[in-house]
Amino acid sequence: MSATDFLRTSRILIVAGKGGVGKTTVGATIGVAAARSGLNTLLVELEGHSTLGRAFGFDELPYEDVDLFAPSDGGPGHLRGRRITPDEALIDYLSGHGLDRITGRLARTGTIDVVATAAPGIRDLLTLGKIRQIEATEDVDLIVVDAPAAGHAVTFLRSAAGLSEAGADGPVKEQADLVSAMLSDDARCQVILVTLPEETPITEVIETAYSLEDDVGIALGPIVVNGLIPTIPGLEAELRDLGTSRSKINRARREAATYRLGREQSQATEVERLDIELPLPRIELPHLFRAGLDEASVHELTDALLPQLHDLGGGHV
Amino acid sequence: MVTEADAEAGAHQPLVARASVIICLGAGGVGKTTTSAALAIAGANAGRRTVVLTVDPARRLADALGIAGSTDTRSSRGLGGAGWGNEPRQISGPWEGELWAAMLDPSAAFDALITEHAATPEQAEKVLANRLYKNLTSTLSGTNEYMAAERLRALHLDDRFDLVIVDTPPSQHAIDLLDSPGRLSRFVDHRLYKSILAPKRGVMRALNAATQIVVRMVSRLVGTALLDDVVDFFAAFEGMDEGFRSRAEEVDELLQSSACAYVLISAAKETAIAESTWTAGRLADRDRPIDTLIVNRLTPNFGAGLKTASREASASALDQNLAAFQGLRESERDLIAQLVTSIDHATGQKPQVVEVDEESTPVADIAALRRMSQLFS
């Protein structure tokens, strides 16, 4: 078993989770883990100004892909990144259907809004269509997609089915069928849900998971619990030994230790609830005790991720 | 003219005592809804007749505010507050003023708007039954934001209230609320709609060739069934666009006026700070200053400034822990300082900054909200 077995289970990993849980960081971490495992990996950001690029020194990733990272071992793996926006995907699509001369005008005059409203989910569908096109035409081992924030993730992934139900026909229907086939094939695509070990994020990730399974029929990979506060051996005993000393420093030590132990306990309760209500394999990533996100943080998280991917191995969960 | 002394007096007055509309902007997951609720309690405590328009509150927060009703708000996420529409409910408490809360139901708000602007009940019925119309709140981006702004205006004009606090929908961009009136007017005013209707008016000649291409293109792309919905919608909507547009203009004017104080809510994490920096820039583009920056869930201060042992393994567990939290708090405050600097650069004005320390349990009951509200008093 190796981490590569897991990373080769399906070619597209869609990373989803509610705002603030570190979904983007986890996407970047999986990307780096794949590159370090020798895979030719593409990281895709969808939101207009997501922060995926920031860990690699970009303010915003461009529409054409750029190099983000290559391991120094000279191995075959590397990580590239790019952005896909619904408007650009739509314009791409129109151009591909012989309408390139008027697409600029369509965008400027807001006709695209009318089209998008007439055909609900068309922006999402075309974004997924663009991912499918990359999957079909480009020589990459793994595509990691930083999906829209939670509530929208389900709508996003349901767009193809929704359009078919709404009675779309013609090229949009064809596109919807191709995307549906991609999403429902677990050899091609699975979703990695990210959450924090806190009450609301855990409740929401459980809801999102069931709704993805029931309404979208997409395969769920392991759940990533991000930001777990690691245990410091001996902290509890030292806190006990501290007694009731009232010096300023001892008060700070006591409060900080009590706070940490309280957080550890509540996160344990939440992880346990997750285990019971959503019995899926779990990946745990540690809290790094720094607020910023840089490439070093991503590598630190990758170090924590790789052995866990190794244990998961290949095949579906 | 505002003298320095006036400005100082104004600055000493808390936001909830001086503003008449407070708009809370922020990315998802930064505690926007909770913060709006705490601001509202601070307003009621300051003697104001306060109403907070919440969007999609988590179950426990809705319970704390007494607005959950008998419906499960969690399962209605994204559908608006199923159950009791947009009507504010009063929450009793030990405050000097009044506290009211309403939950945004975008579909009900849109329906009300259609009914208000329709020439006849039949016209309203026709629009409400249209399939495209039914899709609008879920698919036309900016619609939920516009409905929040529309409700904001209604509450602002309502004599029962003198302070309106608005939690904004979880948009892709926090700024979508400000753009929503223009976006909606553009939609109902669209040339495509005029061209589609033109043949019905027998002015086929007016349909220029370029527009015919567009209509054919739309039909080729999405199929004729969907295009028929569009045609039906605009046919039913005809005549209402004028009222709709002038209302959108009023809403827009209110959002741009000095009656609205903008509060930017952020978390002290890289991604949230980046999003907040972007939002601050867009507000500056629209000449809207940021009155107050609220940064939620800061690591508590356990005695910053205390010299402690390092995080090295040789240190005691107690000191490793204390140093870890101190380091985290420092890095959070560095990010906040960067954000304040960029807001200052973008708007030429430093916002007031309120830092809210993390509690060991989530802020989800009224007692916790009241503790938080003291930071805004």
- Residue-wise pLDDT tens for chain A (317 aa)? 578 888 999 999 999 988 889 898 999 999 999 999 999 999 999 865 567 777 888 877 888 899 999 988 888 899 999 999 877 887 788 777 766 666 666 666 666 666 676 676 788 898 999 999 999 999 999 999 998 875 678 888 988 888 887 777 778 888 899 999 999 999 999 999 999 999 889 998 999 999 998 888 999 999 999 999 999 999 999 999 988 888 888 999 999 999 999 999 999 999 999 999 999 999 999 999 988 888 899 999 999 999 999 988 765 54
How does DSSP classify residue A80?
E
Contact B218 A115 (CB under 8 A): yes
Query: Average pLDDT for residues B14-24, to the nearest whole number?
Result: 95
Q: In terms of Cα–Cα distance, which of A306, A31, A172, A109 is closest to B195?
A: A109
For chain B, the residue count is 377
Residue matched to tokens 């007016």: B206
Residue B182: helix, strand or coil by DSSP?
helix
Spacing of C-alpha A117 from chain mean position = 27
For residue B218, pLDDT beyond 90: no
CA distance A306 to A192: 15
Q: How confident is the model at residue B193 (pLDDT cuts 50, 70, 90)?
A: low
For residue B77, pLDDT beyond 70: no
For the four alpha carbons of B101, B103, B109 and B110, in that order, the dihedral sign comes to positive
Smallest Cβ–Cβ distance between B303 and the set A118, A121, A252 belongs to: A252
CB-neighbour burial class of residue A179 (10 A; exposed 0-12, middle 13-18, buried 19+): buried
Spacing of C-alpha B195 from chain mean position = 34
Contact A167 B223 (CB under 8 A): yes
For chain B, how are helix, strand and coil distributed in percent, rounded to 5?
55, 15, 30
For the four alpha carbons of A84, A90, A95 and A97, in that order, the dihedral sign comes to positive
B112 or B11: which carries more pLDDT confidence?
B112
The answer to which of B118-127, B165-174, B251-260, B322-331 has the lowest mean pLDDT is B165-174
CA distance A313 to A316: 9
For residue B328, pLDDT beyond 70: yes
B176 or B211: which carries more pLDDT confidence?
B176
How does DSSP classify residue B204?
G
Most confident stretch, B56-65, B125-134, B297-306:
B125-134
Q: Angle of helix B270-285 relative to helix B317-347, nearest 10 degrees? A: 10
The answer to which of A143-147, A163-167, B46-50, B200-204 has the lowest mean pLDDT is B200-204
Please indicate if any CB of chain A lies within 8 Å of the CB of B10.
no
CB B139 within 8 A of CB B187: no
Q: How confident is the model at residue B139 (pLDDT cuts 50, 70, 90)?
A: low
Q: In terms of Cα–Cα distance, which of A72, A83, A2, A85 is closest to A32?
A: A72
CB B106 within 8 A of CB B151: no
- The reported pLDDT for the residue numbered B75 is 35
- The reported pLDDT for the residue numbered B65 is 73
- The reported pLDDT for the residue numbered B4 is 47
Q: Give the CA distances from residue B97 to residues A139, B53, B86, B92, in Å, rounded to whole numbers and listed in that order.
A: 65, 17, 21, 10
CB A24 within 8 A of CB B27: no
A-chain CB neighbours of B324 within 8 Å are 289
Contacts of A194 (CB under 8 A, 6+ apart): A15, A16, A17, A21, A22, A23, A26, A205, A223, A224, A226
Query: Considering only residues 55 to 74 of chain B, which have any Cβ-Cβ distance to chain A shorter than 8 Å?
Result: 58-60, 74
Query: Considering only residues 199 to 238 of chain B, which have any Cβ-Cβ distance to chain A shorter than 8 Å?
Result: 210, 213-214, 217-218, 220-227, 229-230
- The reported pLDDT for the residue numbered A93 is 80
CB A141 within 8 A of CB A8: yes
Q: In terms of Cα–Cα distance, which of B84, B113, B107, B247 is closest to B169?
A: B107
Tokens read off for A98 = 């012989």
Q: B142: left (phi > 0), else alpha (psi -120 to 50), else beta? A: left
Q: In terms of Cα–Cα distance, which of A149, A145, A154 is closest to A13?
A: A145
Query: Considering only residues 135 to 174 of chain A, which have any Cβ-Cβ distance to chain B shorter than 8 Å?
Result: 148-152, 155, 166-173
How does DSSP classify residue A74?
-
Residue A136: helix, strand or coil by DSSP?
helix
- The reported pLDDT for the residue numbered B82 is 39
For residue B73, pLDDT beyond 50: no
Give the ipTM: 0.88
CB B210 within 8 A of CB A103: no
Contact A118 B331 (CB under 8 A): no
Residue type, A54: R
- The reported pLDDT for the residue numbered A317 is 47
Query: What are the phi and psi torsion angles at B261 (to 5°)?
Result: -100, 130
- The reported pLDDT for the residue numbered B303 is 77
| Mean pLDDT value across chain B | 81
- The reported pLDDT for the residue numbered A106 is 67
Please indicate if any CB of chain B lies within 8 Å of the CB of A110.
yes
CA distance A20 to A95: 36
CB B298 within 8 A of CB B354: no
For residue B115, pLDDT beyond 70: yes
The DSSP line for A245-306 is --SHHHHHHHHHHHHHHHHHHHHHHHHHHHHHHS---EEEEE--S-S---HHHHHHHHHHHH
Tokens read off for B277 = 């920096």
CA distance B87 to B143: 19
Closest residue of chain B to A152, computed from CA coordinates = B78
CB B311 within 8 A of CB A245: no
First to last CA, chain B: 27
A-B contacts at Cβ under 8 angstroms: 219
Distance (Å) from the alpha carbon of B97 to chain A's nearest alpha carbon: 31
Q: How confident is the model at residue B190 (pLDDT cuts 50, 70, 90)?
A: low
How does DSSP classify residue A216?
I
Query: What are the phi and psi torsion angles at B291 (to 5°)?
Result: -70, -50
Closest residue of chain B to A199, computed from CA coordinates = B362
Distance (Å) from the alpha carbon of A121 to chain B's nearest alpha carbon: 7
B-chain CB neighbours of A239 within 8 Å are 318
Q: In terms of Cα–Cα distance, which of A97, A88, A80 is closest to A31?
A: A80
Q: B55: left (phi > 0), else alpha (psi -120 to 50), else beta? A: beta
Please indicate if any CB of chain B lies within 8 Å of the CB of A247.
no
Please indicate if any CB of chain A lies within 8 Å of the CB of B331.
yes
CB B36 within 8 A of CB B101: no
For residue B121, pLDDT beyond 50: yes
CB B211 within 8 A of CB B248: no
Contacts of B211 (CB under 8 A, 6+ apart): B191, B192, B195
